[in-house]
Structure 1
Amino acid sequence: MLQAIAPNLWHLQHEFTVFGIKVSTRMTVVRFEDGRLWLHSPVPLSQPVREQLTSLGTVAFIVAPSKTHHLFAGDAARAFPGAALYGARGLARKRPDLVGLNAIGPAIDPAWAHELEQVFIDGLPVCHESAWYHKASRTLILTDVCQWWTSEAGMVGRAYAMLTGVSSRLGVPRTVRRAIRDRDAFAASARAILAWPFERVVVAHDAIVDKDAHAAVERAFAGLAGGP
């Protein structure tokens, strides 16, 4: 079931196995002041979770925030057919089955600009990920660009987390670092994210950092954010 993080902010984790590695991923749910719900990076939704979401508000937006986090977006859209479906730039070509998909643009959508701020993480075309800042809870919401594997991942998962540099603290995984194609563009995006006054960071894999969160992201981006 959904677990509360802060007022009007919840999460739900989902575990699965990829190439023998136990992976934990997360959906984040934001409730706007008018009661509408914004689902970031959907995971499988059981009937009890669907009922819980309905009890919290009206699911109005379903967001596949990158080209790598989209597997369950279609299922969520079918569960809540009245919601608008959004996806990362380029996802429509990868998932033509996601009917009615709205591309996430470089600027914040007016439909949620009063609640959220957005930075498109440039220079990382494999993901086309966007970062989000929930203003009311002062929370940074990320997908893959920063990770900290804190869940029990088994021996293989622990070894993978150590190899990618995300086993002991929040970091930009080595896999993501190697995927950066434009370091200047990525640095500009990192600086824009660090300009937000967030006090908490929620990432898909799989930590929630609510102590010295801004400093943790600064350390994660060290060497990648560049100068002003």
Structure 2
Amino acid sequence: MQLESIDTHLWHATHAFKANGLPITTRMTVVRLPGRKLLVHSPVPMPPDSELWRQMQGLGTVAFVVAPNKMHHLFLAPCAAAFPDAVVYGPQGLAHKRPDLAARLRELPAGDVTEWLPDLEHLAFEGIPAGNESVWFHRPSATLIVTDLLQWMAGDLPWPTRAYATLTGVRRKLAVPLTVRALVRDRAAAARSAERVLRWPFTRVVMAHNQVIDSDAHAQVARALAVF
């Protein structure tokens, strides 16, 4: 596992593991902010002195480690330990779910985080409290960064994963998976957040599961978010 470049000041790495017995991959995204400060979004395993850890050292200083929703926290603690000087962010409710991280965890706000501006804009997506997912817009590369809200599980996958992707509606196109749609508790709030996301002039989408979309990205996201 190693970092691959997506754009200037933007990298990613994917990690294969099993979630509740289902073979799956997840993506970590790394953003380099001004001053060579690195933000690690949805961390994957990164033991000190591993190749991935060494790559990070060459890119800059890890200043922020972020759990983007209440589901993507499995590798947050070891990543935070690997970078003890980093500020650790997570969504509302994660400290209750992970009391071991409560002393270090800073709650993500509804809107922007001053230290990340002007390069990285932030929005807490409303209406789905079970996940409390945040989304980001990396302005220099015109990239939207999401986690579970939008998925497209394309490519050669194990049959259980193909079946899961088909059943949840994310095998053949970018979509809000049925598993996420079932968790909506305030559709009007979700619609407001979707409208806010679509104001960003992004031309690329990076998501945890499992595609990076470089073509017709804004229109595809608009179609997917129309479910709200």
| TM-score between the two structures when normalised by the length of structure 1 | 0.96
1:160 positional shift: 0.6
Residues 20 and 156, structure 1, Cα contact 8 Å, conserved in 2: no
**Number of the residue aligned with 2:161:** 157
2: CA distance between counterparts of 1:41 and 1:10? 12
CA distance 1:152–1:21, shift in 2 (3 Å): farther
Residues 24 and 151, structure 1, Cα contact 8 Å, conserved in 2: no
**Is 1:78–2:81 an aligned residue pair?**
yes
Residues 113 and 121, structure 2, Cα contact 8 Å, conserved in 1: no
1:151 positional shift: 4.3
Residues 21 and 153, structure 1, Cα contact 8 Å, conserved in 2: no
Q: Please give the root-mean-square deviation of Cα atoms over the aligned residues, in Å.
A: 1.0
1: CA distance between counterparts of 2:97 and 2:155? 30
Residues 11 and 28, structure 1, Cα contact 8 Å, conserved in 2: yes
1: CA distance between counterparts of 2:78 and 2:4? 21
**Is 1:29–2:43 an aligned residue pair?**
no
| AA in 2 matched with 1:71 | L
| AA in 2 matched with 1:110 | T
**Is 1:55–2:58 an aligned residue pair?**
yes
Question: 1:192 is paired with a residue of what secondary structure?
Answer: helix
1:21 positional shift: 1.9
Question: 1:51 is paired with a residue of what secondary structure?
Answer: helix
**Gapped runs of 5+ residues in structure 1?**
none
* Matches for 1:91-110 after TM superposition, within 5 Å: 91-98=94-101, 99-110=103-114
**Is 1:185–2:185 an aligned residue pair?**
no
Q: Deviations over 1:49-88 (max 9, x none)?
A: 1110000000000000100011111111110101111011
CA distance 1:19–1:71, shift in 2 (3 Å): closer
Identity of paired residues, percent? 48
Q: Greater CA deviation, 18-27 or 135-144?
A: 18-27
Q: Greater CA deviation, 135-144 or 11-20?
A: 11-20
1:223 positional shift: 3.1
Q: 1:169 aligns with which of 150, 158, 173?
A: 173
1: CA distance between counterparts of 2:72 and 2:161? 19
Q: Deviations over 1:110-139 (max 9, x none)?
A: 111221111111000010001100010000
**Is 1:205–2:209 an aligned residue pair?**
yes
2: CA distance between counterparts of 1:49 and 1:144? 23
Question: 1:191 is paired with a residue of what secondary structure?
Answer: helix
**Number of the residue aligned with 1:40:** 41
2: CA distance between counterparts of 1:97 and 1:152? 37
Residues 143 and 203, structure 1, Cα contact 8 Å, conserved in 2: yes
| AA in 2 matched with 1:65 | P
**Is 1:8–2:12 an aligned residue pair?**
no
Give aligned pairs, total: 224
Question: 1:30 is paired with a residue of what secondary structure?
Answer: strand
1: CA distance between counterparts of 2:227 and 2:97? 32
1:107 positional shift: 2.1
Residues 118 and 130, structure 1, Cα contact 8 Å, conserved in 2: yes
